[in-house]
Structure 1
Amino acid sequence: MQTMAAVQKERSLGSIQFLPVSLFASVMGISGLSLAWREASKLFGTSTVIADICGILAIVLFVALTIAYLSKWALYPEKVKAEFKHPVSGNFFGTITIALLLLSSVIGVYSRHSGQAVWIIGTVLTLTLSFVFVGRLLKGNHDPSHAVPPSLIPMVGTIDISVAGGSMPFPWTQEINLLSLAIGGIVALVFFTLILSRLIHHDPLPAGLMPSLFIMTAPFEVGFLGYTNFEQRIDPFASILFYFGLFLFIVMFFKVFHKSIPFGASWWSVSFPMAALSIASLKYARFVDSWLLIGISAILLALLSIVLAVLFVRSLNILFNGKLLKG
């Protein structure tokens, strides 16, 4: 009877074989929301309670998704292999390693040594994944239509190493951060050009990939955070990165948030780029001390909080009605 009940429950929720790796982007977004509210406490003097709640939620969600995806790997290894080799969905494996890097900052608030250990693991995995994906691309014969915003994730994600590693005390940290900025920065320059060319000269993105347009803003805002962490100052180059990312966000906002785009797991693609912009705006507003930028940072933080709350509720809804894990 228990076996039959379990089978019936699986049928109602769907099968774990259809769990998309892109769901790890939710951990990135919620971790980013935690870090944004912690940054807001420095600018507005707000309580860190929201940051703590979001941080705990991100950790629990990462553990749950890791267990679920490892189960998928054990039960359906061919499904995982096919997803990893896919020219588009394979890029989302980078969300796992980036999630670890962001969680290192979240965990580091409560346990410095644990945060450092998670950062080291995330750094090794991120650099390894970047190496694998660059090697894959250099084999040639790639369809130009596969140059889509998610292509930025596994390689440009190396910039997040310096974002989370700005406060790491190891003697080799500075060189690792510089390495990550070099890889992520140059690859971002190349891939941003390729993706922009594809968006201009080829067919529009499929509806399911439209939310990923926000990923185009990430190299600039994450680059701003990584660069300023490394330099320990905000200079004109950092300001240029921030303002261009803000400009892209405004342009993409009206293209992404459209009723014609159906909701699905891919919508979590908007979460971390928005979080990175919010954190960058809070940090920049604190540096410039301008009422206009302070107002913009407050609006972006409120918008980020609302969007992630809606994404979380709607994701639970499609999970329990069986649409999330439906083949």
Structure 2
Amino acid sequence: MSTDVVQIETRESRLEHLPISFFASVMGLSGLALAWQKGVHVLYIASEWVSLVIAAAAALVFLTLLGLYGAKVALHPSHVVGEYRHPVKLHFFPAVSISLLLLSILALNMWPAMAMPLFAVGASLHLVLMLLVLNSWFNHDHFQTVHLNPAWFIPAVGNVLVPLSGLALGYVELSWFFFAIGIMFWIVLFTIIINRVLFHNPLPERLAPTLFILIAPPAVGFLSYVRLAGNVDAAAHILYYFALFMTLFLITQVPRLMRAAFFLSWWAYSFPLAAVTIASLTMYEKISGTAFFVISAVLLGIVTTVVTALVVRTLVAIGRGRSACPNRPARDPGRLETQ
């Protein structure tokens, strides 16, 4: 077999097994860009070019993944259907619409002309994907308790993101519509997840990083609620402090989590940390206080370090030619796997 044929087969194999969960990297990069965008205006550190560069990287990664996954849909539709029918991978499909919504939030200040189309496509797509996920939940014949993990929050988190750009674009009632869906499903899913963690087997090693997703719903919910309500009231305080407490608790789990091999699921650390960082910056902006300043600065440093490390580890793993799919296990800890 010639070298050219081997290279073609390798590219085809990688495309065939490209996971939908790769879009979580766009969420992480976009979240970091938003954190720096807020940090520049609230903490008066660095300059706007930092968030602009990160946002451009997020947009580039999104377009690249969109092209690659579009090719997978065209060339390997059976593998896409397999991911959709998978009890864990299913919940990463809304990461595509969430990425669009996050890019629309970034575009409000950076590329205003793009904010509206990104929002329209993102919100519409997310509603469709949320309905598809719900349909799968309500009509399944294969879900088991062991399949339940914090990644199931991803569809709900997307809903509470809508007000962050929807209000600025004039869609007040639509923003409330999505916010209500997200908050109610967060409450229900949080209860189920706690039951799964307490009374059933621990999450498998490769899914353990998804515990950080527990931070995202209350943190993003706080940000959207403050936009909708117009001030930091009692409900906003509850959402923020719960997100902060979950962050503190999960930081205590880091030593155990860091002993695990590198999986693509490690990107689950990024967006939730970015969300609670932006929430802390908002608290400092609205209320002031030394404590919020310190918390914001520390979290901004942590999320920047985490995302930088994730980018490096991911590029190294890709460079080694390791599988991006759990169905094709790699032989070293640099493998890219979701579950």
TM-score range with shorter-chain normalisation?
over 0.9
Query: How far off its partner does 1:107 sit?
Result: 2.2
Cα RMSD over matched residues? 1.8
1:56-95 counterparts in 2 under 5 A?
56-95=56-95
Supply the distance in 2 between the matched residues of 1:297 and 1:235 (Cα, whole angstroms).
20
Matched, 1:208 2:209: no
Structure 2 equivalent of residue 234 of structure 1: 232
Structure 2 equivalent of residue 136 of structure 1: 136
Supply the distance in 2 between the matched residues of 1:295 and 1:77 (Cα, whole angstroms).
49
Q: Percent identity?
A: 34
Supply the distance in 1 between the matched residues of 2:303 and 2:132 (Cα, whole angstroms).
32
Matched, 1:222 2:220: yes
Structure 2 equivalent of residue 164 of structure 1: 165
Task: Please tell me whether the aligned partners of residues 13 and 322 of structure 1 are also in contact (alpha carbons under 8 angstroms).
Answer: no
What are structure 2's unaligned runs of at least 5 residues?
329-339
What CA deviation, in whole Å up to 9, does each residue of 1:119-175 have, x standing for no partner? 011000111111111122122553122221011112342111112323113xxx111
Q: What stretches of structure 1 move > 6 A for 4+ residues in a row?
A: none
Matched, 1:268 2:267: yes
Task: Please tell me whether the aligned partners of residues 90 and 133 of structure 2 are also in contact (alpha carbons under 8 angstroms).
Answer: no
State the one-letter code of the partner of 1:259.
M
Question: Equivalent of 1:197, from 179, 195, 198?
Answer: 195
Task: Please tell me whether the aligned partners of residues 24 and 99 of structure 1 are also in contact (alpha carbons under 8 angstroms).
Answer: yes
Task: Please tell me whether the aligned partners of residues 149 and 215 of structure 1 are also in contact (alpha carbons under 8 angstroms).
Answer: yes
Supply the distance in 2 between the matched residues of 1:6 and 1:224 (Cα, whole angstroms).
53
What are structure 1's unaligned runs of at least 5 residues?
none
Supply the distance in 1 between the matched residues of 2:237 and 2:12 (Cα, whole angstroms).
47
- SS of 2:139's equivalent in the other structure is coil
State the one-letter code of the partner of 1:59.
A
Supply the distance in 2 between the matched residues of 1:236 and 1:10 (Cα, whole angstroms).
58
What CA deviation, in whole Å up to 9, does each residue of 1:36-64 have, x standing for no partner? 11101121222111101000000000000
Structure 1 equivalent of residue 334 of structure 2: none
Supply the distance in 2 between the matched residues of 1:254 and 1:323 (Cα, whole angstroms).
30
Structure 2 equivalent of residue 312 of structure 1: 311
State the one-letter code of the partner of 1:213.
L
Structure 1 equivalent of residue 147 of structure 2: 146
Query: How far off its partner does 1:310 sit?
Result: 0.3
Question: Equivalent of 2:247, from 249, 269, 293?
Answer: 249
Structure 2 equivalent of residue 296 of structure 1: 295
Query: How far off its partner does 1:93 sit?
Result: 0.6
What CA deviation, in whole Å up to 9, does each residue of 1:292-323 have, x standing for no partner? 11001000000000000000011000001011
Task: Please tell me whether the aligned partners of residues 13 and 321 of structure 1 are also in contact (alpha carbons under 8 angstroms).
Answer: no
TM-score (ref. length: structure 2): 0.91
Supply the distance in 1 between the matched residues of 2:96 and 2:320 (Cα, whole angstroms).
26
Structure 2 equivalent of residue 109 of structure 1: 109
Matched, 1:32 2:31: yes
